[in-house]
Structure 1
Amino acid sequence: MPDPVVLVLTQEFDVTADSVVKILNERDVRVFRYDTSYFPRNSTLTYRSTDTGWLTTLVDTTYGRRSLRLEDVTSVWYRRPTPFTADSSLQEVHQEFAVKESAHAMGGIFSALPARWVNLPAVELRAHYKPLQLKVARDVGLRIPKTIITNDPEEAARFSRECDGSIVYKALNSGLIHQPGGWPRGLLTTALSEIPLEILPRVRYSPCIFQELIDKAYELRITVIGGKFFTVRVDSTDGDGKPHVDSRNFLGNLRYTQATLPDEIENRLRQLMRTFELAYGAIDVAVDQVGEHYFLEVNPAGQFAWLDDEVPGLNLASAMADYLSGVSD
């Protein structure tokens, strides 16, 4: 069996990738970390047919010169790579052409590799769609909050009434708004006792997702790596004893503890992961006051480094290193 060679496709600064690459280096596993924004501006890719098969070489000259024969790669971690960038000396229309050609070339060449993927780009793209996630979750028997996705203000108002005004709004995609000259601003899950009349007409401008507000006791962050489940309970209780709507925006002390999933819930989440063909996913679940579990979403490229810092013995980075290097199948 050949020695493992791990290709990590990620942005230049990525704490989660850092933690895994460090472990792989300590184990003397060959790692080629690559930011796709280096291509084609500072890199070359050559895909050549030979009598015995294909010969593919990636050469990066961003910081010195380093190269990788892609046929040697045993696993690829598709870890939030950045957009391709063309030479700035080109006219804008030519830059656009070069970027599109780069995406087609690199996407096709990489996808043809007989390597273990975490996760294949096409698989990850499909799994990112929240409407599809919610449908699949229901199909495998998971509970989901009552949900409506609409850009019809009247339908949104009707849904709010059906939920007695106890609803939340969240973004369908990343929830990031990039304002000119400023930092990206996140759109977090927001509780609404009612949709303000001055806001309601704006629903018409873009599809919105509204869900019933779950009377939750706590949240679960479930990290799945190659079929192994790592479950963490997240407590974000306010001074009034009520958990915060979105723990990412909680200003108090979040408490993270290892937890165990009921077998029935784990089995259904396994079905969801198999349906999407995901080797990795970060799943968010809300648990209500009577112990019912509600699936919220799965992030095929979710962060996990902070969980290793918060929960001693969790060892998510080590588990990912195991999977990428073939130690854990």
Structure 2
Amino acid sequence: MSAVGDSTADMVTAELNEREVPVARVEPADFGRELSFTSVISAGDPLAGTLATASRTVDLGQVRSIYWRRPEWPTFPDLSGPDLTWAKAQMRHGLGGALVSLPGCVAVNDPLAEEAADYKPLQLAVASRFGFSVPPTLVSNRRADIEEFITAYGQVIHKTLRWTDYRRAEEGLSVWTEPVTVDEIDDSVGLVPHLFQARVNKVADLRVTVVGEQVFGVRIDSDLLDWRRDYGSLTYTVIDLPDRLVKMLRTYLEHFRLAFGCFDLCVDAKGDYHWLELNPNGEWGWIAAETGLPIAAAFADLLQGAS
């Protein structure tokens, strides 16, 4: 399940094709044009039916795994208002609901589990419970509490609680992790909750991709607070992680019933690791290309049932 032109999905599809594993590339945005499906539910029987793309027809009863790789859903350009809202809901709950109901099917990841794992405050609370070093964090819309937090910790950063497709005049924009001072806080913070954290004096970032039992650790060196600002300035080093940390990461994913996740951590001058966040459906294609790590093969192993 992917979007049109998704090069990361291409990597997994190519790996499965090379192994001669039957695979269907499903792009929900094509629904009604090149994609159709029927599912049948009857008393005492598992869900059955077929799904047809432009190139093949899939027997839903034979599906053993699904990679939910950021599918894009139809935009229904001819609809608007309540009609558009209704159509989008029917699409997600119809096709999506049928696919998550397939018996014995390995989901990477189960969309329902992934949604639960995407709440930043929950991520932080669980990370702290499992023994990760979590920076002191405040989630609030109260100006006085925010000002008190910044004053107490001095160096503080602001992060978004949830990524959204943020646009102005059709131009895509990003909301970066930024340092913040008391002087920048005003009454506008009262509109929504905001996430503030004490800044970690890091020397490097870590991107750890866990796929099933396989763990890929990469150190990212840069002078940036938020390394996503300039990928061209980054230096990558493949690293081995301490066994204890690897176990903690796997336990974390198990808690949320996830088969895959991309963890953002950082390391300080003492060599201590600090929790930043989990991306439950994080991007990994670029880091595989930069490092040569066999992450696509790990996905193929998981989907094929080899690990």
TM-score, reference length from structure 2 = 0.92
- Stretches (4+) displaced over 6 A: none
Which structure 2 residue ranges, 5 or more long, are not aligned? none
Query: SS of the counterpart of 1:169?
Result: strand
Unpaired segments ≥5 residues, structure 1: 1-8, 238-243
Equivalent runs, 1:206-245 vs 2, <5 Å: 206-237=192-223, 244-245=224-225
Q: Match for residue 50 of structure 2?
A: 57
Aligned twin of 1:101? 90
**CA 42–95 in structure 1, closer or farther in 2 if over 3 Å, else same:** farther
- CA 1:196 to 1:85, structure 2 compared with 1: closer, same or farther past 3 Å? same
8 Å CA contact 1:171, 1:189 repeated in 2: yes
Q: Is 1:174 equivalent to 2:163 in the alignment? A: yes
Alignment of 1:321 with 2:300, yes or no, is: yes
List per-residue Cα deviations over 1:130-170 (Å, max 9, x = no partner): 11000000111111111001111111111100102x01111
> What are the superposed Cα offsets for residues 213-262 of structure 1, whole Å, 9 maximum, x if unpaired?
1000111100000121110011113xxxxxx2111114763110111212
Of 141, 147, 167 in structure 2, the residue corresponding to residue 157 of structure 1 is: 147
Query: Which residue pairs with 2:183 in the alignment?
Result: 196
| Inter-partner Cα distance in structure 2 for 1:143 and 1:38 | 44
| Structure 1 segment 284-299 matched on structure 2, within 5 A | 284-299=264-279
Specify which of 243, 250, 257 is matched with residue 277 of structure 1: 257
Is the alpha carbon distance of 1:42 and 1:93 closer, same or farther for their aligned partners in structure 2, counting shifts above 3 Å? farther
Aligned amino acid, residue 302 of structure 1? G
Report the Cα distance in structure 2 between the residues aligned to 1:55 and 1:182, rounded to whole angstroms.
41
Equivalent residues in 2 for 1:11-160, closer than 5 Å:
11-40=3-32, 42-49=34-41, 53-60=46-53, 64=54, 66-86=56-76, 88=78, 92-114=81-103, 115-160=105-150
Mean CA deviation greater in 37-46 or 95-104: 37-46
Secondary structure of the 1:287 match is strand
Calculate the aligned-residue CA RMSD, in Å. 2.0
For the 8 Å contact 1:175–1:188, the answer to whether it is kept is no
Structure 2 distance, partners of 1:316, 1:175, is: 26
Pair 108,208 (structure 1): closer, same or farther in 2 beyond 3 Å: same
Q: How big is the shift at 1:85?
A: 3.9
Q: Secondary structure at the residue paired with 1:83? A: coil
For 1:6, the equivalent position in structure 2 comes to none
State the alpha-carbon separation in 1 of the partners of residues 170 and 41 from structure 2: 47
- Structure 1 CA distance for aligned equivalents of residues 45 and 267 of structure 2: 55
TM-score by length of 1: 0.87
Q: CA deviation at 1:52?
A: 6.1
Aligned twin of 1:187: 175
